[in-house]
């Protein structure tokens, strides 16, 4: 049908259609109707919403299912480097990112069905995901919500195998509301009458109450972290506990104590969806799970070579106060195990609470280098971001790029001091640019 690559087609679509989100389901429903409603022909769906932890839950869910021998489709957003990252097609022995020929063909068919009508690119790409997942056999499909829940384009799934609500906090206030209970109500929109619900660890009681009340009103079988299931560390292991008993597991490969709760939510979700997961499978999943750009250790690459000799470099796209707290706690754990001076290289966009993010690192980070986020029109200028870090009582200075920040740190580092620990983060746009420049994109 077309010789254009998927990326070229998406670039063309972005010139035709408005950027951003349309908080209704009318347009995507109309498009899916023209495509024969592929969303109704999917394998059992694990539908995941939340402010933080959605991607980690999706990664753990995939690892759990694949360890048990299931073929698993995965739809996540946004991507870091390539659009193909949003679609992993299930296969024997483990899924693979969609091939460009298959991806390009699906985009062309969806665009033709839309016939030039008003729509957002996110809605088109969500329809592409439904089409791909309906036309390729698999045992399960993991669908991550893009924004909110109630009016997100993924929320046309009538009867998910399980709906999962990960931690809810303030983010996207312009779209979802300025109180956590309002945001929780939007996330709760993915809960369907009579379909199982798993509520992950919640920071705010007000949010948890909204989620529980919604599930009860819709008579949806409910499992809540801390009440019906939980995970905790013991003797260097992770213990998962629910009504069926205990699992003694390896600690998750993804660093940070918050990943215990994320892993627990995934285990509870997979079980609630009706899949059999044994202790051996769960243990294997904890050691094989991968989620690029989220507390990812960078050990080689073009940017790594610019850092001080022996530096420990982490990359994380978390960008709101809740994510900042989780990341800071993970780094504090690293500090307890192996003390190193911590430096931040941060870039953020103007829709995020920059000072709130930085406050999590007070007393932990020695210095912040702020950099522009050139991949987004909403990037905060580096001098303004340095001022936001200073408001959070951090030492900060603007520099022109991540590469320059690493070289500046290297050139001023005292070789007699233990090599630094460096966190590059504050934006998924920045995380993607770093992986591309470093030569280590997700595969």
Provide mean pLDDT across the span 253-281: 96
Identify whether the C-beta of residue 405 lies closer than 8 Å to the C-beta of residue 397: no
Band of residue 280 on the pLDDT scale cut at 50, 70, 90: very high
Question: Of 16-30, 163-177, 201-215, 242-256, where does mean pLDDT reach its minimum?
Answer: 163-177
Taking the C-alpha atoms of residue 65 and residue 285, their distance in angstroms, rounded to an integer, is 8
Taking the C-alpha atoms of residue 335 and residue 363, their distance in angstroms, rounded to an integer, is 12
Is the C-alpha dihedral spanning 304, 307, 312, 315 positive or negative? Answer: negative
Q: What is the pLDDT of residue 3?
A: 66
301/350: higher pLDDT: 301
Identify whether the C-beta of residue 303 lies closer than 8 Å to the C-beta of residue 406: yes
175: pLDDT strictly greater than 60: no
Provide mean pLDDT across the span 383-390: 96
Integer CA distances (angstroms), 13 to 75, 111, 120, 232, in order: 20, 8, 9, 46
CA-angle at 178, arms to 47 and 123, nearest 5°? 40
Q: What is the pLDDT of residue 17?
A: 85
Q: What is the pLDDT of residue 256?
A: 87
Band of residue 172 on the pLDDT scale cut at 50, 70, 90: very low
φ, ψ of residue 51 to 5 degrees: the values are: -80, -45
Identify whether the C-beta of residue 189 lies closer than 8 Å to the C-beta of residue 25: no
Q: What is the pLDDT of residue 174?
A: 46
Residues 6+ apart with CB under 8 A from 107: 6, 9, 10, 13, 124, 125, 128
What 8-state DSSP symbol labels residue 230? E
Closest residue by Cα to residue 54 from 175, 145, 129: 145
CA-angle at 105, arms to 100 and 111, nearest 5°? 120
The mean pLDDT value of the chain amounts to 94
1: pLDDT strictly greater than 80: no
What 8-state DSSP symbol labels residue 282? H
Instruction: Give percent of the chain above pLDDT 90.
Output: 87
Taking the C-alpha atoms of residue 38 and residue 126, their distance in angstroms, rounded to an integer, is 11
Q: What is the pLDDT of residue 95?
A: 94
388: pLDDT strictly greater than 90: yes
φ, ψ of residue 189 to 5 degrees: the values are: -65, -15
Sheet holding 72-75, edge to edge: 96-97, 87-89, 72-75, 140-144, 45-49, 162-165, 197-199, 222-224
Whose tokens are 């029109």? That residue is: 377
Band of residue 176 on the pLDDT scale cut at 50, 70, 90: low
Closest residue by Cα to residue 9 from 149, 136, 177, 128: 128
Name the H helices within 68-193.
Answer: 100-114, 121-135, 173-176, 180-187
Q: What is the pLDDT of residues 99-147, one digit of tens each?
A: 999 999 999 999 999 999 999 999 999 999 999 999 999 999 999 999 8
Taking the C-alpha atoms of residue 125 and residue 121, their distance in angstroms, rounded to an integer, is 6
Instruction: Give percent of the chain above pLDDT 70.
Output: 96
Q: What is the pLDDT of residue 261?
A: 97
Question: Of 72-86, 174-188, 326-340, 401-415, where does mean pLDDT reach its minimum?
Answer: 174-188
Give the pair of three-digit tokens for residue 327: 């990341």
Task: Report how far Cα 289 is from the mean position of its chain's Cα atoms.
Answer: 13
Q: What is the pLDDT of residue 351?
A: 79
Q: What is the pLDDT of residue 106?
A: 98
Identify whether the C-beta of residue 237 lies closer than 8 Å to the C-beta of residue 251: yes
Max intra-chain CA distance, the chain: 66
Taking the C-alpha atoms of residue 345 and residue 401, their distance in angstroms, rounded to an integer, is 9
């Amino acid at each position: 049908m077309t010789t254009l690559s998927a990326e070229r087609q998406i670039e063309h679509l972005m010139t035709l259609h408005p950027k951003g989100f349309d908080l209704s389901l009318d347009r995507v429903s109309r498009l899916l109707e023209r495509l024969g409603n592929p969303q109704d022909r999917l394998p059992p769906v694990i539908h995941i919403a939340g402010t933080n932890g959605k991607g980690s839950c999706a990664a753990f869910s995939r690892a759990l299912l694949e360890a048990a021998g299931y073929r698993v489709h995965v739809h996540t957003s946004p991507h870091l480097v390539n659009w193909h990252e949003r679609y992993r097609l299930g296969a024997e022995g483990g899924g693979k990112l969609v091939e460009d020929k298959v991806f390009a063909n699906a985009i062309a068919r969806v665009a033709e069905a839309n016939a030039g009508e008003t729509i957002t690119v996110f809605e088109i790409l969500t329809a592409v995901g439904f089409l791909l997942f309906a036309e390729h056999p698999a045992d399960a499909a993991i669908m991550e919500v893009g924004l909110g829940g109630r009016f997100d384009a993924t929320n046309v799934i009538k009867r998910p195998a399980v709906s999962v609500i990960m931690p809810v906090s303030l983010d996207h206030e312009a779209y979802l509301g300025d109180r956590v209970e309002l945001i929780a109500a939007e996330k709760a929109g993915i809960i369907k009458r009579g379909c199982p619900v798993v509520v992950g660890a919640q920071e705010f009681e007000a949010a948890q109450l909204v989620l529980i009340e919604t599930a009860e009103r819709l008579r949806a079988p409910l499992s809540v972290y801390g009440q019906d299931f939980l995970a905790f560390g013991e003797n260097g292991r992770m213990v998962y506990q629910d009504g069926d008993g205990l699992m003694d597991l390896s600690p998750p490969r993804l660093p940070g104590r918050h990943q215990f709760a994320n892993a627990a939510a995934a285990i509870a979700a997979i079980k609630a969806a009706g899949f059999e997961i044994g202790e051996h499978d769960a243990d294997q999943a904890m050691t094989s799970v991968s989620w690029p750009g989220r507390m990812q250790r960078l050990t080689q690459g073009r940017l790594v070579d610019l850092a001080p000799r022996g530096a420990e470099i982490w990359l994380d796209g978390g960008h709101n106060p809740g994510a900042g707290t989780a990341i800071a706690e993970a780094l504090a754990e690293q500090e307890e195990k192996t003390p190193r001076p911590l430096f931040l290289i941060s870039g953020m966009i103007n829709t995020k609470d920059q000072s709130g993010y930085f406050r999590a690192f007070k007393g932990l980070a020695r210095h912040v280098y702020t950099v522009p986020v050139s991949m987004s029109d909403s990037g905060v200028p580096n001098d303004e971001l340095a001022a936001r870090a200073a408001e959070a009582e951090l030492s900060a200075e603007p520099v022109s790029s991540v590469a320059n920040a690493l070289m500046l740190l290297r050139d001023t580092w005292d070789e007699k001091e233990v090599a630094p620990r460096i966190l590059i983060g504050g934006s998924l746009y920045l995380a993607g640019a770093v992986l591309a420049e470093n030569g280590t994109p997700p595969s």
